[in-house]
Structure 1
Amino acid sequence: MGLEIEGRASDSPYVSYVWRSRSEGVDLMTAVATTGWDLVFWESPDGFHAAIAGPESKVSTAPVPEDSAFFGITFALGTTMTHLPSARLVDSGVDIPDATRRSFWLKGSHWPVPGPDDAEEFADRLVRAGVLVRDPLVSEVMRGGTPDVSPRTAQRRFQAATGFTHGAARQIERARRAAVLLCEGAAADDVVHRLGYYDEPHLARALARFVGRTAGQLRDDPRPARPLSLLYKT
């Protein structure tokens, strides 16, 4: 029982991860900070639902619909909807009313509900329809590149496309990578060295702020009573 999550990485420039999960006997989870936003569909005893879940700037506690099956698409950092910018979604979300198993309403049109096997094709359709756009500057900056624009313009574009400053996005992504490594059994001092934290207290502060668990808890108790939201290798 708990919150079972499985998924796969995507090679689409617009999609980061495609996932499915099922809840059983759990009503709360620890929502780990994340820079991406999700389009989520779920079926529970009271019907079929859809929502846009925004990026999270810090760890929080979130409700979990009981006995429900979920499917979600996590969009890549720098990808945003033209009518609903990522900056408006940080620490928030939007319910999509009147969704059915077959279709849902988005930016003035009905769209077929995608599945795990056609998430990338669905994203491409959104791009062609002008619903979804991507600023390639974001990926370049996150890789450590130097865009051919002024630093001020780069920061403005980065924040417009993501809702975060470059520094904040980097901190969140690093803390998530640290959590994944610790869940896989890595020692805290090794994570400090690999990810460039100053020392273990620096790592501990990042985990408290963005993940909500200590290094020891992540390493020794990968299936806590209150499960963590989606964590995956980036």
Structure 2
Amino acid sequence: MGLHVESRASDSPYIDRIWRSRSSGVAQMMSVAAARWDLVFWEHRSQVCGAVQGPETRARPAPVPEDATFFGITFSLGTAMPHLPIDRLVDNSAPIPGTTGSSFWLKGSTWRLPGYDDAEALVRRLVREDVLARDPVVAAALDGSRPEVSDRTLQRRFLAATGLTRGAVRQIDRARHAAILLQEGLPAQEVVHELGYFDQPHLARSLSRFVGRTATQLADPPSPEPLSLLYKT
């Protein structure tokens, strides 16, 4: 009973995470804030659907269809579909038309529906066909390099490639990391120190906004309302 989620890493620079889940006996989950966007497919009552799910800037309740299966590709920061501006997808999603159990329609072409174990093949083809691209300036900055552009240019390109500012990404990722540490049993005061929060009230505000849980709730046994996918970025 509940929402059962599993995920794996990928060696593709375009992919942050690949995940799948199934629901049973749960009607709602807390969708945690996420700085990265997803390509998501799900099956419910023999109908297969797809969508591009944009970054989410705050936690919010989300309905969960009964006895549904989901599969998703979470893309790395700086990866985008140029024909689908990421700023229009922040706290939003775009349905993918023509989705069936074997294929879907994207940018004027039919693509084979990927699976959990072979998602990288789809991403390689999307890159070859110029449907998917990664901004090299943003990628270099995220890898710790100093791109040969001005700070203002870097900020502009980061926003264009991710839909968010660098500060917003840091806040979301830090809150997600804090939630994981609290779930693993680390005391709140140690989380404050390790992740650089000012104090426990600062941590509490961040968790409320981005995770939708308090530190106590995260440390206690699971809530009847499950959280969406949490993993260390």
TM-score (structure 2 length as normaliser) = 0.96
The offset of 1:56, in angstroms, is: 0.1
Q: Corresponding residue for 1:168?
A: 168
SS in 2 for 1:138: helix
The offset of 1:145, in angstroms, is: 4.2
The offset of 1:201, in angstroms, is: 1.0
The offset of 1:61, in angstroms, is: 1.3
The offset of 1:166, in angstroms, is: 0.7
| Residue type of the alignment partner of 1:93 | S
- Mapped to 2, the partners of 1:141 and 1:172 lie a distance apart of 18
Q: Corresponding residue for 2:102?
A: 102
The offset of 1:85, in angstroms, is: 2.0
Q: Corresponding residue for 1:201?
A: 201
User: Stretches of 4+ moved more than 4 A in 1?
Assistant: none
The offset of 1:51, in angstroms, is: 1.1
Note the alpha carbon deviations across 1:78-133, whole angstroms, 9 max, x for none.
Answer: 11001112211100001112311110000110000001111112111100000001
The answer as to whether partners of 1:142 and 1:166 remain within 8 angstroms in 2 is: no
Seen in structure 2, the aligned counterparts of structure 1 residues 167 and 217 have a Cα distance that, compared at 3 Å, is same
Seen in structure 2, the aligned counterparts of structure 1 residues 125 and 230 have a Cα distance that, compared at 3 Å, is same
Instruction: Give structure 1 stretches of 5+ with no counterpart.
Output: none
SS in 2 for 1:159: helix
- Mapped to 1, the partners of 2:128 and 2:217 lie a distance apart of 44
SS in 1 for 2:156: helix
Q: Corresponding residue for 1:226?
A: 225
Q: Corresponding residue for 2:89?
A: 89
| Residue type of the alignment partner of 1:79 | T
Q: Corresponding residue for 1:111?
A: 111
The answer as to whether partners of 1:142 and 1:170 remain within 8 angstroms in 2 is: no
SS in 1 for 2:48: strand
The offset of 1:11, in angstroms, is: 2.0
Q: Corresponding residue for 1:43?
A: 43
Aligned 1:125-140 pairs, distance under 5 A? 125-140=125-140
Q: Corresponding residue for 1:189?
A: 189
| Residue type of the alignment partner of 1:119 | A
Q: Corresponding residue for 1:121?
A: 121
Task: Give RMSD over aligned pairs.
Answer: 1.3
The offset of 1:147, in angstroms, is: 2.1
| Identical aligned residues as a percent | 61
- Mapped to 2, the partners of 1:195 and 1:145 lie a distance apart of 22
The answer as to whether partners of 1:127 and 1:133 remain within 8 angstroms in 2 is: yes
| Residue type of the alignment partner of 2:228 | S
Note the alpha carbon deviations across 1:136-169, whole angstroms, 9 max, x for none.
Answer: 3334434554322111100000000000011111
- Mapped to 2, the partners of 1:141 and 1:193 lie a distance apart of 26
- Mapped to 1, the partners of 2:140 and 2:215 lie a distance apart of 30
The answer as to whether partners of 1:40 and 1:51 remain within 8 angstroms in 2 is: yes
Aligned 1:17-32 pairs, distance under 5 A? 17-32=17-32
Instruction: Give structure 2 stretches of 5+ with no counterpart.
Output: none
